[in-house]
Amino acid sequence: MQPQALRRRLQPEQSHEVASQRRGAPRPCLAQARWADRQWVKRQCVARLAEGTHPERLRRPRLRLERPFCGWGRTVGGRPRRLPGQRVRLAVPLGQSGAARQQPQSAAERCAVGRWALLAVPSPSPQRAQPHREGEPSVQPVCGLPPRGEDLLGGHSAAGREVSEPPGDQLRRHPDGHVRSLSDPTVEPDRQDGPLRPEGALDPLARSPEVHTFAEGGRVRLLAESERRSRSQQRETRHQRDHPCPHCRQAGLPQSGVRYDLIIRDAEVWSSAGSLRADVAVRGGVIEEVGSLPTARAWEEVDAAGAWLLPGAIDTQVHFREPGNEHKEDLESGSRAAVLGGVTAFFDMPNTSPATTSAEALEHKARRAAGRCYAHFAFYVGATAENAAQLGDLELRPACCGVKVFMGSSTGDLLVEDDATLELVLRNGRRRVAVHAEDESRLRERRPIAEERADPSAHPEWRDVDSALLATRRLLRLAERTGRPVHLLHVSTADEARLVAEAKARKVDVTAEVTPQHLILYAPDCYERLGTLAQMNPPIRDSWHQSALRAALLDGVFDVVGSDHAPHTLEEKARPYPKSPSGMPGVQTLLPGLLNLCWEGFLSPQQVVRLVCEGPADLFGIRGKGRVAPGFDADLVLLDPNEGRVVERSMLASKCGWSPFEGELLFGWPSLVWVKGRRVVAEGKIVGEPCGEALEFDL
């Protein structure tokens, strides 16, 4: 049937369309009626364009529609896709005809023209309902639309007059019917561009054909000036529904049926219990499902094709040198190296300049890390004789992972040498205390050995096995007396491993860490090849100790593996021994180094996940980390265990620019790394922005 508003005004021209609806005549189907409406309105528009009374000629406000983004449907013949019988639910005038519009610049954005309108931009000046007055329309304007009875194609149906407006000047029609110039100072600046639109929103009709609307029975319908499309053009196929638009997927535009942000398909998902071939779905940075998800859709979908998917590694001991020694390393460069190696969280040590020994220093470090770290972060607070009584409060500060004790030489006043101070530290607080155990008095006594020999191979002789044993015995005795959990860092001797195993058998709450350097390198070979580059504290020892550490690792003596990433520049390392600084980088090679031991048959993937993923998370109570399971954060590493790379300086992200494993073939380098569901690494390159957050702890 004819549009109500236009039927009143143009009765003489309607006889053909309404003839079939006389009493007793068969009622046409709805589709036929709509087709007749389109043809009739098309003829009227063409006629009015010819005589100069078309709204486009009068510069009347257009009706612009907000549409949702599409699934597969693009435009057909230059027109937005619309399904049979589809109706526009709401339309509002937006700005002035001929005004500048934001144009979609890509195919993906043009897909956003969509299939049907569900949203509407609010009116610039919503009107309150007013009491009816005699002689005025009985229906109030809604969202800027004229009242019922007013012809949207020009004028009021009762007036029968044309509206002319001065050409060459942009005009604005206020909802109350008045026309104002945009240059009128009485027009508020924030209302000169029409109704509010979200920043960056697209004009969905910017590249669509001219459309006209008319009101009928309180509804708004869309009529396009184009020929009718075939049913094959209007109908979505099952294939199109099952395979979302690639342009939208690449640009990150919403699609119909999309539920997740990321799906990794057909991955070998590893845990300490074994592996599972599964899909992993992520939304909002959290893993939601692990299993078979053939029909699920996501913005980012990765076909793993059987590659290994591991939780992001957690490195519980790094020295990123900030603040004070940023020429060696800083939080940005250190975290960049971390994610390139599959490490998505780290604990930074307090021996910076100034040392991290107060609440202010912790807050300062956390502020520096925010927005610059590619991996999640936490910081140790250093124990001293001065702050021992406050450590219970300091360890609970935001971004603090616990207390670090240096029983051997370190930076500033971080040395805790006597048992009285150490016991005071252990009695203040309840979190696990990390300890570097070397006896300071014995190190002082044996310093002349290093000075006389002036050779890096003397390093394990100066800092001998007894230096480590004396400190470890004292620590375990005090831990047993106070009941405080302790964590022994970078165990380097067979004797220490034996002491830890015996203490665990006595139910002493002690855990221990070993580094890849002590598992892979051995003396004197490393000192002959690397010189001072192999110098670290505690030192790399001979192959007998290396074999004992490997055996203890398999026996479960060690709970975690940490890199002890402690970089120094090549110029600093070139100083003559013992003036050369101790320490070597390792955060980027932590995971590949351990996976290389898997390739050699020494470790299993389950053990690697336990040592650098699940173990650190459980040991320190890190919230939401360490597992590929629903409810855990989507810190994920995808890798091919059979892909080997030779370590070269060009691939290293650390500021120091070198590695003790340079020239070695290591297997298990990450192909893709996600931090909270955001891709940050692809094929050995940083592809994302820093998105690391402060770690949270349940203990």
- φ/ψ bin of 474: left (φ > 0), alpha (ψ from -120 to 50), beta (otherwise): alpha
Catalytic residue among 330, 439, 564, 633: 564
Task: Give the pair of three-digit tokens for residue 631.
Answer: 């409810």
How many angstroms from the chain centroid is the CA of residue 406?
36
Who wins on pLDDT, 141 or 417?
417
Q: Work out the mean pLDDT of the chain and round it to a whole number.
A: 77
pLDDT band at 699 (very low <50, low <70, confident <90, very high): confident
Q: pLDDT tens digits for 12-42?
A: 444 444 444 444 444 545 555 556 666 766 6
Q: How many CB atoms lie within 10 A of CB 131?
A: 6
- Give the pLDDT confidence score for residue 505 in this predicted structure: 97
43-47, 225-229, 316-320, 462-466: segment of lowest average pLDDT: 225-229
Q: How many CB atoms lie within 10 A of CB 667?
A: 19
- Residue 34, H or E segment: helix 30-51
| pTM score of the predicted model | 0.67
- Give the pLDDT confidence score for residue 157 in this predicted structure: 40
CA distance 183 to 603: 76
55-69, 351-365, 502-516: segment of lowest average pLDDT: 55-69
Q: pLDDT tens digits for 128-161?
A: 444 444 444 444 333 333 444 444 334 444 444 4
What structural domains does the chain harbor?
1-126+138-255 (no CATH), 310-616+628-643+651-686 (3.20.20.140)
Residue 391 has pLDDT above 90, yes or no: yes
- Give the pLDDT confidence score for residue 413 in this predicted structure: 77
CA distance 380 to 352: 11
- Give the pLDDT confidence score for residue 100 in this predicted structure: 40
pLDDT band at 80 (very low <50, low <70, confident <90, very high): very low
**Has 315 been annotated as catalytic?**
no
Contact call for residues 479 and 471 (beta carbons, < 8 A): no
Q: pLDDT tens digits for 567-599?
A: 999 999 999 999 999 999 999 999 999 999 999
How many angstroms from the chain centroid is the CA of residue 306?
24
- Give the pLDDT confidence score for residue 38 in this predicted structure: 65
Q: pLDDT tens digits for 294-304?
A: 999 999 999 99
pLDDT band at 53 (very low <50, low <70, confident <90, very high): low
- Residue 380, H or E segment: strand 376-382
- Give the pLDDT confidence score for residue 119 in this predicted structure: 34
- Give the pLDDT confidence score for residue 35 in this predicted structure: 61
- Give the pLDDT confidence score for residue 409 in this predicted structure: 73
CA distance 343 to 612: 9
Q: How many CB atoms lie within 10 A of CB 227?
A: 11
Task: Give the pair of three-digit tokens for residue 436.
Answer: 């570097």
Q: From residue 291, how far is each of 126, 344, 355, 583, 637 by CA, in Å?
A: 50, 23, 47, 43, 17
Q: Which residues pair with 315 in a beta bridge?
A: 346
CA distance 598 to 108: 44
Q: pLDDT tens digits for 503-556?
A: 999 999 999 999 999 999 999 999 999 999 999 999 999 999 999 999 999 999
Who wins on pLDDT, 97 or 652?
652
Residue 253 has pLDDT above 70, yes or no: no
- Give the pLDDT confidence score for residue 258 in this predicted structure: 80
What's the helix, strand, coil split of the chain in %, to 5?
30, 20, 50
Q: Which residues pair with 513 in a beta bridge?
A: 560
- φ/ψ bin of 324: left (φ > 0), alpha (ψ from -120 to 50), beta (otherwise): left
SS3 539: coil
CA distance 328 to 315: 19
Q: Average pLDDT of 196-211?
A: 38
Residue 337 has pLDDT above 90, yes or no: yes
Contact call for residues 266 and 292 (beta carbons, < 8 A): no
- Tokens 């309105």 belong to which residue? 41
Residue 179 has pLDDT above 60, yes or no: no
Q: pLDDT tens digits for 262-291?
A: 999 999 999 999 999 999 999 999 999 999
208-222, 430-444, 476-490: segment of lowest average pLDDT: 208-222
Q: Average pLDDT of 208-215?
A: 36
Residue 9 has pLDDT above 80, yes or no: no
Burial 178-201 (b: 16+ CB within 10 A, else e): eeeeeeeeeeeeeebbbbebeeee
- Give the pLDDT confidence score for residue 40 in this predicted structure: 66
SS3 684: coil
Q: pLDDT tens digits for 100-111?
A: 444 444 444 444
Contact call for residues 223 and 37 (beta carbons, < 8 A): yes
Q: Residue 602: phi, psi to the nearest 5?
A: -80, -45
Contact call for residues 370 and 331 (beta carbons, < 8 A): no
Q: What percent of the chain has pLDDT over 70?
A: 63
Q: What percent of the chain has pLDDT over 90?
A: 61
